[in-house]
Structure 1
Amino acid sequence: MTPMSVDRRRVCRVFAAFAGVVVGFFAVMMGPAAPASAHAALVASDPGNGTIVPDAPNKITLNFSESVALLSGKIQVLAPDGSRADQGEPTADGGTVSIPLRSGGGRGTYLVSYRVLSADSHPVGGSLTYSVGAASATPTATVDDTKVDPVVRAVIPVGKYLGYAGLVLLVGPTLVLALLWPHRLSRVGPGRLVWTGVGLVAFSTLLALWLQAPYSTGSGIFDVRVGDLRDVLGSTFGAIMLVRLGVICAAALLLRPMLRGNGADSKTDLALLGVLGVAALATWPLTGHPTASPVAGVSVVVDAIHLAAMSVWLGGLVMLVGFLLRKADGRELGAILPIWSRWAATSVAALIVAGVIQALIEVSSLDGLINSTYGRLILVKVGLVAIVLGVAWYSRKLVMSKAAEESPGSLRRVVWVELAITAVVIGVTSALVQISPPRTAEAASTAAASTTITKTLTNDKMALQIDVFPATVGNNSIHLYAYTPDNKPLTVVEWSATAALPSKGIEPIEIPLLRITDFHAVGDIALPSAGEWTFKVTARTSDIDQSTLSTTATIR
């Protein structure tokens, strides 16, 4: 074989790995190109969105699908005239946010805008309206609390990609150096690889701390204030990132003698490195989707196992293709490769099991797998992993046949292919952590389906508002409000109402009503079946005047 052909093959292998990294970055950049995702959903509010209440409330309550944290100055309530209607600081208790209001609020439509942090450190923004007495023009918000700066949105997953790459270069090579590295071989090259991993993890962590400030507040990447950074460092996210930095610094001190070759046999150092490794790996799921999972404890453990398996497998492959298959002799490879093959098989098995459990928790349904961006990326990841497993099976076959010990070049080519494809898999993973899982969308849609239905009916004598809550089969509350044609409260002497579902042969059911105020009545009814219900209301306003109005509403 001529030197020129060797150089060409080397160039091809380097190009294959480089192409994998480039495509991985491309997957990262394309993944979050959709609108900014919220990882908690507003499931209810009091007053409800779009409802009309007879009197001004003294507070507003927002209920989210998971725990949220407040962002300073990011919740406001605007009165119909555009002035601030909120008073004092809002409070958060789990997924419930309470906003105190000024007393004596006037009639008209109010705008509530909010931006909070969900349990997985992603910002959640939105707005809703309610009216006191009667609807009016909606006040205009001065800021958009749903936006995320596009540069910040693009750089965050790139930082995550670098962090995952750092884990791969840190965990796998350290394990190989500690347990499989031949004593006669220099540790300079692998040491540089490990230090690169340490640097990437530390850099990605510092970058994440910086980016969390504009990501939370919706500002630009260079518009970060000292107070914003202080808020990040004081949050759960900041605390976990600081723990990660501390663990990395402690690990670096223990790694120095190992990488020099004079402390590799220290069992105490190896045990401490193992503990630090577990602590470092746990910081990734503690700032992501697993913390907001319905089974958070299971999700955090499974995600940590997923990361550990990936880091051991891919980091070991890097050591094989970069050093061992080039420098180790046949006798050494004969001892190393069977052990590595078992490690790889165990890591892959853990990777698959953990990945399946994660997908079942986050996707939860076939529809979510097929019809959501998150689910489709999962399918892409599964397809790529299937290809990698096929290549890994072939490489294991080479190892078992002993051919790799005599001619390691063929195994090196196979491993290069594995690494190129897995670079793309890491890119897809980096995009996934920025996208709302289907369970979030399902929580939001369930909330939308079960919120209050409000209908306003009018004739020449009155305007009648009907509120049905929740709009689902089961026990329901009916609120009735009567107004004059010019939206002033109208006294009703006597109320009566019925509900019927003609499509299923359900005759009108009398709704028992209680008169709360002169123009407001409330009743309870159990609607037994889903469908388009007909509600008929009669309001008697004097001994001789009464109005009967009817409407339909979809009950799910």
Structure 2
Amino acid sequence: MLAAVAMLAGWLIGQGVSPALAHASLVKAEPADGAMLAQSPASFSLSFSEPVSPLVLTLVRSDGTPVRLTSFRGNGQTIEIDNPQTLAQGTHVLSWRVISADGHPVGGSLLFSVGAVSAAPVVADIVDARLHPAIWAAKVVLYLGLFLGIGGAFAISWLAGGSRNGERFVAVMLLVGLAAAPLSLGLQGLDALGAPLEQIAQTIVWRTAFGTSFAWAVLIGIIALGLGLLSLALPRGDDKPFSAAALIAVGVALAASGHASAAAPQWLTRPMVFLHGVGIAGWAGALVPLAVALWRDRLNAKPFLLRFSRVIVPVVAVLAAAGVVLAVVQVRTPSALVDTAYGRLLLIKLALLAVLFALAGANRWRWTALAMAGEGGAAKALARSVVIETMIVVAIFGVAAGWRFTPPPRALAIAAAEPVATHMMTLQAMADVTVTPGHAGPVSISIMVMTGDFGPLDAKEVTLVLSRPEAGIEPIKRAAMKPGDGTWRVDGLVVPFAGRWTVRIDILVSDFEMVKLEGPIDIRP
């Protein structure tokens, strides 16, 4: 079952994400993708759907020569980049790679031409196929340490009543978690730079990794794992404060980075992530020590089982409530559950949780009572059921680790609501066209017309024409209105579907002169 879940999760990830897809989206660029410029730009500008930090910025000139861009200024969601040289005539590529607020890298490129269009230079984008599986596996192992290891240490300290059942398993989970934590951080650095696995020992990889929010999650996680190991080594009674601190640190580590922690409003999402993480560790971590006690040590198993039964209902209630809040914030609409890879992974997790809750309910209200009454074979039957619970929990960890590669619907919705723009020009005139929102459906279009030397252009009429002949769509033609703010507008237009459209602006300069500008514009789904 676990292998099937992991394979299905991997397939969904593959269906819903490409190597360049992450959680901040480029919403505006100057020059725009596909723009034709009369002269070499002095600078570039990239605006994203959420705050980002630049990692690698490269300009590939029309002759194929790459130039690293090192002079830039970040201002939250916008990066202003200086162009160090005058560009020759032809088509150039601006390639970028940034780190988003949730700690995940995002990259892409855009083309623009100076003076004339030429063959686009090739941008090397070699993605190590081993990197994402390695990131996924390291994250699953880290979850094992944080949840089964630290949660197990807490259960042994606070619920086991003096017994040490399951201690060896818990120690192994803590140790593998400690091994996975720095490895996960190194893999984060590789992913941020788009570097292959062989470069994991390079200084720049680790410097880049420590510059992301994920570094805080890893460092706090290492502290939590260390506290968990210390609690196992201490005498009974002295271990409780350390195991409790470790459990709290699990929630803090998870709240320090990731999709949900970066979501607004953070006054709500970060506490919910904290509670969700602590609840998972408190529940899942107790399962193996409890199963071992039920199987081997009936004398100590009964008080352990009684304490666990008393606390687990409120723990699961808090865990579930926090999970529901986070799911609503991230998914937003029911359709996103099937329309996005993130939503489909959530559906798998919910299906596993339904099975897990049903099994836990049977254990809580049937087998627990029989085991407490000393019914023959009930303790071992309950132990086997608890082991199955643990296996389902591990499968859920595998699904949750897949979210590392899928943008949440929340981020997709923010990006989709942002406008898209294009710049078109000839020697006689130029136009900036902005479509708001930049996705298929009802939109408003703003058109700023200027002379070829950026002067004001007092046009008599402006007409917008949208076409996509390869899709069999007849041109959509609308007369623009002038509201008095210096722009021309087309409101109430419906763009039927996403993709690259051709936009043409017909500018009636006088009764005897018409200027036509044409260029591409990309409409998001």
Question: How far apart in 2 are the matches of 1:452 and 1:425?
Answer: 41
Aligned match of 1:122 in 81, 98, 104?
104
Aligned partner of 1:421 in structure 2 is 392
1:65/1:311 CA distance change after superposition, 3 Å: same
Indicate how the Cα distance of structure 1 residues 42 and 234 shifts in structure 2: closer, same or farther if over 3 A, else same: closer
Question: Which residue does 2:51 correspond to in 1?
Answer: 67
Which protein has the larger Cα radius of gyration, Structure 1 or Structure 2?
1
The amino acid across from 2:232 in the alignment is: L
- Equivalent residue number for residue 15 of structure 1: none
Amino acid at match of 1:46: E
1:289 aligns with 2:266: no
**Using the alignment, how far apart are the partners of 1:288 and 1:197 within structure 2?**
22
Pair 1:310-2:310 in alignment: no
Taking the TM superposition and a 5 Å limit, the aligned residue runs for 1:101-500 are 101-102=83-84, 104-132=86-114, 134-144=115-125, 148-183=127-162, 185=163, 187=164, 189-224=165-200, 225-257=202-234, 263-266=235-238, 269-329=239-299, 332-399=300-367, 401-407=369-375, 408-447=379-418, 450-453=419-422, 466-471=431-436, 476-480=446-450, 495-499=459-463
Aligned residue pair count: 494
Quick check: 2:59–2:69 contact (8 Å CA) kept in 1? no
Out of 48, 57, 81, the position equivalent to 1:99 is: 81
Measure the CA separation in 2 of the matches of 1:298 and 1:416. Answer: 34
Using the TM superposition, name which of 57-66 and 290-299 deviates more.
290-299
Contact 1:29/1:158, CA 8 A, preserved across alignment: no
Q: Which residue identity is paired with 1:62?
A: L
Which string of whole-angstrom CA distances, capped at 9 and with x for unpartnered residues, describes residues 356-414 of structure 1?
11111111112211111110111111111111111111111125634454131232232
C-alpha displacement of 1:29: 4.7
- Taking the aligned partners of 1:233 and 1:535, their CA distance within structure 2 comes to 48
Report the Cα distance in structure 1 between the residues aligned to 2:329 and 2:457, rounded to whole angstroms: 54
Separation in 2, partners of 1:178, 1:202: 20
Contact 2:157–2:236, Cα closer than 8 Å, also in 1: yes
Residue 31 of structure 1 deviates from its aligned partner by: 5.3
CA, structure 1 residues 352+318, in 2 after alignment: closer, same or farther (shift >3 Å)? same
Structure 1 residue ranges, 4+ long, deviating more than 6 angstroms after superposition: 489-494, 550-556
1:11 matched residue in structure 2 = none
SS in 2 for 1:131: strand
Question: 1:86 offset after TM fit, Å?
Answer: 7.0
- SS of the residue corresponding to residue 283 of structure 1 reads helix
The alignment-based identity, stated in percent, is 24
Q: CA deviation at 1:27?
A: 5.4
Change over 3 Å in CA distance of 1:471–1:206 after alignment to 2:
closer
TM-score, normalised relative to structure 2: 0.82
From 488, 492, 498, the counterpart of 1:529 = 492
Q: Is the 8 A contact 1:43 1:443 kept in 2?
A: no
Quote how far apart the aligned CAs of 1:193 are: 2.0
Among 64, 75, 80, the residue aligned to 2:62? 80
Q: Which amino acid aligns with 1:546?
A: E
SS in 2 for 1:420: helix
Amino acid paired to 1:69: S
CA deviation after TM superposition for structure 1 residue 550, in Å: 9.2
> How big is the shift at 1:44?
0.9
SS of corresponding position for 1:287: coil
Q: Deviations over 1:304-353 (max 9, x none)?
A: 22222112212212112122343123xx5554333311322122212221
Residue of structure 2 in register with 1:8 after alignment = none
CA distance in 2, matches of 1:253, 1:110: 57
Match of 1:6?
Answer: none
- Range moving further from structure 2, 545-554 or 163-172: 545-554
Q: Verify the 8 A CA contact 1:80 1:108 in the aligned structure 2.
A: yes
SS in 1 for 2:509: strand
Secondary structure at the aligned position of 1:112 is classed as strand
| Corresponding residue number in structure 2 for 1:546 | 513
* CA shift for structure 1 position 82: 4.0
Letter of the 2:117 counterpart = S
CA distance in 1, matches of 2:134, 2:83: 38
Alignment partners' CA distance in 2, 1:123 and 1:58: 27
> CA offset at residue 492 of structure 1?
11
Equivalent pair of 1:80/1:136 in contact (CA under 8 Å): no
In 1, distance between residues paired with 2:111 and 2:262?
Answer: 27
- 2:37 maps to 1:41: no
Contact between 2:57 and 2:69, CA under 8 Å: does it hold in 1?
no
Distance 1:126 1:334 in 2: 58
Which SS does the other structure have where 2:196 is aligned?
coil
- Check 1:471–1:201 CA distance in 2 against 1; reply closer, same or farther (3 A cut): same
Between the aligned partners of 2:85 and 2:182, the Cα distance in structure 1 is: 45
Aligned twin of 1:56: 40
Name the CA distance, whole Å, in 1 between partners of 2:519 and 2:141. 55
Name the aligned partner's letter for residue 121 of structure 1: G
Q: CA deviation at 1:63?
A: 0.7
> Residues 471, 25 of structure 1: CA spacing in aligned structure 2 closer, same or farther, 3 A cutoff?
closer
1:52 Cα shift?
Answer: 3.0
Write out per-residue CA displacement over residues 239-280 of structure 1, whole angstroms, 9 at most, x where no aligned residue. 4423432443344334311xxxxx3223xx523432343223
Change (3 A) 1:471 1:463: farther
Q: Choose 424-433 or 470-479, whichever is displaced more.
A: 470-479
SS in 1 for 2:460: strand
Q: Secondary structure of the equivalent of 1:433?
A: helix
State TM-score, norm by structure 1: 0.78
Does the aligned pair in 2 maintain the 1:111–1:139 contact within 8 Å? yes
Distance 1:527 1:28 in 2: 44
Distance of aligned partners of 1:24 and 1:311 in 2 relative to their CA distance in 1, 3 Å threshold: farther
CA distance in 1, matches of 2:455, 2:480: 25
Query: Could you tell me how far apart the structure 1 residues matched to 2:294 and 2:127 are?
Result: 46
Instruction: Report the CA distance shift for 1:25/1:159 in structure 2 as closer, same or farther (over 3 A).
Output: farther
Amino acid at match of 1:271: P
Letter in structure 2 aligned against 1:324: L
- 2:58 and 2:69 in contact (8 A); partners too: no
Note the alpha carbon deviations across 1:179-226, whole angstroms, 9 max, x for none. Answer: 23244x4x2x53212211211221110211221232122222122323
* Structure 1 portions without partners, runs of 5+: 1-18, 258-262, 483-488, 514-521
C-alpha distance in structure 1 between counterparts of 2:54 and 2:366, whole Å? 56
